[in-house]
Amino acid sequence: MKLHRRKRLGIILFIALGLGAAIGLTLYALSQNIDLFFTPTQIAAGEVQAGQRIRVGGMVKEGSFASAEDSLKVSFAATDYATDVTIYYEGILPDLFREGQGIVVEGAIDAAGLFQASRVLAKHDENYMSVEVKAALDAAGATAENHSSLAEN
């Protein structure tokens, strides 16, 4: 093999090796970091294992919000208008968190079967409905008109 061919082969091997390693690493990292999304109905049906990190989408049920006077603990119900799931959270809620608003919650079900949230996301724009919240409502059969009017309450 001529010198420059060998060099070219070296470079190609280098790139192939790099790409291979990168793809392997990427796929491994992806498989480790997927957060599956569930609707309140699916959770109530027991589709989620305790300890599994998931996301839940839904509307904050009217009148369900409760907060402790002496700590940052709060609880509220996320609903898809078919089933409710009570969410427990300790911390400060986002600015746009309100009853009747769409939210997405990240967290896991603990040993006692309670949903402990690690993060609560509220929508940032009045006209904007999160894909995940919409999916949860669609799955439960609530119509678009229904929830848009509820969201504005």
Partner 1 sequence: MIPELGQFSLILAFCLSVLLGTLPLIGASRNHLLWMNLCRPLTAGVFVFLGISISILAYAFATDDFSVQFVAQHSNTLLPIQYKLTAVWGGHEGSFLLWTFMLGGWMLAVSVFSKSMPIDFVARVLGVLGILCAAYILFMLATSNPFDRIVPLPPADGADLNSALQDFGFIIHPPTLYMGYVGFSVVFAFAIAALLSGRLDAAWARWSRPWANVAWAILTIGIALGSWWAYYELGWGGWWAWDPVENPPLITWLFGTALIHSLAVTEKRGIFKSWTVLLAILAFSGSLLGTFITRSGLLTSVHAFASDPSRGFFILVILGVAVGGSLLLFALRAPMMKSEARFDLVSREVLILGNNVLLVVAAASVFLGTLFPMVYQAITDDLISIGPPYFNAIFVPLMILLVLLLAVGPLCRWKRTSIAYLFRQLGKVVLASLALGVLIPLVVLLEFSLAATVSVALAAWISLSLLGDLANKTANKSSRAKALKALPLSYYGMQFAHLGAAVMLIGIGLTSAFSYEKSVLLSPGQSIDLGNYVFMFNGSTAVTGPNYLGNEADISVSKNDRPIGNLKPQRRLYLASGTPSTEMAIDAGFFRDLFVTLGEEKESGAWSMTIYVKPFIRWIWLGAIFMAFGGVIAAGDKRYRRLRKRELERASGQLSGKLQTAS
Binder of partner 1 out of 71, 111, 112, 113 (CB under 8 A): 71
Query: Per CB under 8 A, which of residues 83..102 are in contact with partner 1?
Result: 90-93, 95-96
Give the C-alpha separation, 132 to 141, whole Å.
Answer: 14
Query: Per CB under 8 A, which of residues 11..30 are in contact with partner 1?
Result: 11, 14-15, 18-19, 22, 25-26, 29-30
Binder of partner 1 out of 9, 12, 13, 36 (CB under 8 A): 36
Instruction: Tell the residue number behind the tokens 């009570």, with chain if given.
Output: 86
Binder of partner 1 out of 2, 4, 49, 153 (CB under 8 A): 4
Strands 115-122 and 84-90: parallel
Can residue 145 be called a binding residue for partner 1 (CB under 8 A)?
no
Q: Which long-range contacts (CB under 8 A, 24 or more apart) does 5-13 make?
A: none
Give the C-alpha separation, 19 to 110, whole Å.
Answer: 40
Please name the residues in contact with 33: beta carbons below 8 A apart, sequence gap of 6 or more.
none
Interface contacts to partner 1, rule CB under 8 A: 4, 7, 10-11, 14-15, 18-19, 22, 25-26, 29-30, 32-37, 55, 57, 67, 69-72, 90-93, 95-96, 104, 124-128, 130-132, 135
